[in-house]
Amino acid sequence: MDYHSKLFGKRKSGKDFVADLLQKKLGHEKCVILRLSGPLKKQYAKERGLDFTRLLDSTEYKETFRKDMILWGEEKRNKDPATYVEEADKKLVWIISDARRPSDLLYFKNNYKDRCLCVRISCSDEVRNQRGFVFTKGVDDAESECALDHVKDWNFVINNDNNQLILDEMLNEIVKIVNEKTTKTDNSDSNSLQFEKSYL
């Protein structure tokens, strides 16, 4: 792995949707989508005798366990924040589509510095509702949904309210930066890029 693009956003803001689009633009041979919650969910499923694959898909199955899974996951992460982030892959670019916590943000910023691009996916509640979002106490007011609300220094903020043209333009900007960066691997010290652009 040489480069990270991390997507942060609330439930139904479109993190997976945007990650798929970005991967298509960067190319499957170069880029992989990782989910920080994958190994955690596997362990959770194993300990409770649940169906792991159904915890990953977009059906209602995962909603039954979401609250308990969040609490269980927080406890594991607090014990060792790096454990579930260190899963690696040999692709040049990682898109991490479910980064939700300050510990995720800090881990990648500290360890990958200028090789990491942090992208906030924002979306109005109205559109999230249309996508099936229903406010759930204990989930939507908990750390996994709210802890990054105060963060301002995103490399990109993408408004994903169904305007495909704007979304496409922003993703093209990201692709351009990632492609520039990943073709300068031999001179990375002298070519470190500064990400100053943000979109609202």
Q: How far is the CB of 194 from ligand ATP (least distance, A)?
A: 28
Would you say 122 and 25 are in contact if contact means Cβ atoms under 8 Å apart?
no
> What is the token pair recorded at 181?
């960066």
Q: Does 131 bind ligand ATP (CB under 6 A)?
A: yes
What angle is formed at CA 25 by the lines to CA 108 and CA 56, rounded to 5 degrees? Answer: 60
Which one of residues 3, 4, 5, 12 is an interface residue with ligand ATP (CB under 6 A)? Answer: 12
Looking at the Cβ atoms of 166 and 193, the one nearer to ligand ATP is: 166
Is 182:3 a contact under the CB 8 Å cutoff?
yes
Q: Is 159 in the site for ligand ATP (CB under 6 A)?
A: no
- Of the residues 148, 167, 170, 175, which one makes contact with ligand ATP according to CB under 6 A: 167
Task: Decide if residue 114 touches ligand ATP (CB under 6 A).
Answer: no
Identify the three-state secondary structure at position 66. helix
Kindly indicate which of the ranges 15-23, 35-43, 46-54, 77-85 contains the residues binding ligand ATP, using the contact rule CB under 6 A: 15-23
Contact in structure between 93 and 178 (CB atoms under 8 Å): yes
Binding region for ligand ATP (CB under 6 A) out of 7-15, 26-34, 35-43, 178-186: 7-15
Dihedral class, residue 49 (left if φ above 0, else alpha if ψ from -120 to 50, else beta): left
Residues contributing to the site for ligand ATP (CB under 6 A): 9, 11-17, 58, 131, 160, 162, 167
